[in-house]
Amino acid sequence: MRSTSPRGCLRGFAVGFLLAASAYDLVIHGALGHSLWPPAVVLLAGLTAVLWPADRRPRWLTPQLRTAVPAGASLIFTTGVLAGNREVPFGPGEVLILLSLLFIAVRHCPWPAALLCGALDAVALLLLPVRYLRSPLDESLLAVVVGLVLAGLVAGLAGYLRSLDYRRTVAVFDTRRAERVAIAADLHDFVAHHVTGILVQTQMARMMAARQPQDLDPVLAGIERAATEALASMRRTVGVLRDTGPEAPDRRPVGDLAGIADLVDGFASPGQKSVLHRDPAVSDDLPHEVQAAAFRVVQEALTNVRRHAADATEVTVRLARTGDRLEVTVADDGHGGTQLPEAAHGGGFGLVGLTERVTALGGELRAGPRAGAGWQVTATFPAGGG
């Protein structure tokens, strides 16, 4: 048995009430001996504009057209009544339709059409009493005041909801923009790391091809591994961009403390040594955001070693726990002898983004030359209760 939602029941009740009120308008006109076709035209135009389902509405039936045409028909009807010096009643159906059209105009019409269409609907609503209130001034003023109050309440509600729609749109845009920036940072962190390794090892392979061809296989294997990991990172990123629904799983490429060991193990080129020293006090149950940030610190630091100090013979990564803080250190003994193409050196945005990521967690990042030779990057994070 199909269940009906409360929202669907409310909408069905509103539609039924509007149709009943419109039918009552026609009954009034017929009972008093007036022609039915003028009010029928106005009511039909208004009901079409209000009740036409959004998913079946043609593109040409814009909010401007929906709100202006019925209001124009109502004004023409009122003008004809005044020109014929007749007293014609108006019923609740036309009032409700014009109020609904005023709501649609203020909430859905683009500016400045919202002002024009809303004003047209309001004027048509306020002129309805003119059809039958001719002499008693107090009754006319009362009808105008009531009309102004109703129009003001409806327009105010529509304007408030329109502001909420705008805020929601801005929030969605900002959220999507922030997510795209985060994905771009992920793409930089992961792919740049592997591509830089490919470039350095390719240069090494070219040199070894002439001098030590028998030692080429480990270098080529490293290039293959880095290329495979880069493709996997890009595939995950593209998957995130494709799957944008609210139930989309979080498949952004992330890292943790266990991933740092893989980074260090796969980093060293022939003639290099990469070592990981992990304090036993550094547990795997640290907050996920802290582990991910530590992973990015190591990743970016190792990428910079390849870019700027590929002549380093030893790279050391340390994970230590000091009180309630995690300390991550990456140090090398290079002299800056890398000869990479200018375009491969980057623009320094990786370190800027890294600093932002660390400070956002309440941490601190320091980078500078070591005593003697080499470079050192140190980051500290609040480690939480892990």
- Residue bearing tokens 């007036």: 34
Q: Read off the pLDDT of residues 178-227 as tens digits, 9 standing for 90 and up.
A: 766 666 666 666 666 666 667 666 766 766 666 777 666 676 776 666 67
- Count CB atoms within 10 A of the CB of residue 149: 10
122 close to 151: Cβ distance less than 8 angstroms:
yes
The confidence band for 348, taking pLDDT boundaries of 50, 70 and 90, is very low
> What's the pLDDT at 250?
47
Identify the weakest region by mean pLDDT among 50-64, 160-174, 271-285, 328-342: 328-342
81 close to 89: Cβ distance less than 8 angstroms:
no
Alpha-carbon gap, residue 363 to 101, rounded angstroms: 55
Q: Is the pLDDT of residue 19 over 80?
A: yes
Q: Is the pLDDT of residue 247 over 60?
A: no
Which fold is adopted by the domain 257-386?
A: Heat Shock Protein 90 (3.30.565)
> What's the pLDDT at 352?
74
Higher-confidence residue of 334 and 318: namely: 318
All structural domains of the chain with their residue ranges: 8-134, 257-386
Q: Is the pLDDT of residue 35 over 50?
A: yes
Alpha-carbon gap, residue 119 to 182, rounded angstroms: 45
Alpha-carbon gap, residue 136 to 244, rounded angstroms: 63
Q: Which amino acid type is present at position 9?
A: C
3-state SS, residue 385 = coil
DSSP-assigned beta bridge partners for residue 53: none
Contacts 24+ apart (CB under 8 A), 127-136: 127/74, 127/75, 127/78, 128/74, 128/78, 128/90, 128/94, 128/95, 128/98, 129/90, 130/78, 130/81, 130/82, 131/78, 131/81, 131/87, 131/88, 131/89, 131/90, 132/87, 132/88, 132/89, 132/90, 134/87
The confidence band for 116, taking pLDDT boundaries of 50, 70 and 90, is very high
The confidence band for 386, taking pLDDT boundaries of 50, 70 and 90, is very low
Which of the given ranges, 160-164, 214-218, 268-272, 281-285, has the highest pLDDT on average? 160-164
What ranges in 84-112 are assigned the alpha helix state H? 92-108
Q: Is the pLDDT of residue 93 over 70?
A: yes
3-state SS, residue 285 = coil
- Count CB atoms within 10 A of the CB of residue 204: 20
Identify the weakest region by mean pLDDT among 18-22, 68-72, 136-140: 136-140
DSSP class of residue 313? S
Distances from the Cα of 202 to the Cα of 80, 198, 207, 239, angstroms: 87, 6, 9, 29
Q: Which amino acid type is present at position 4?
A: T
> What's the pLDDT at 157?
92
Average pLDDT over residues 283-300: 85
> What's the pLDDT at 168?
85
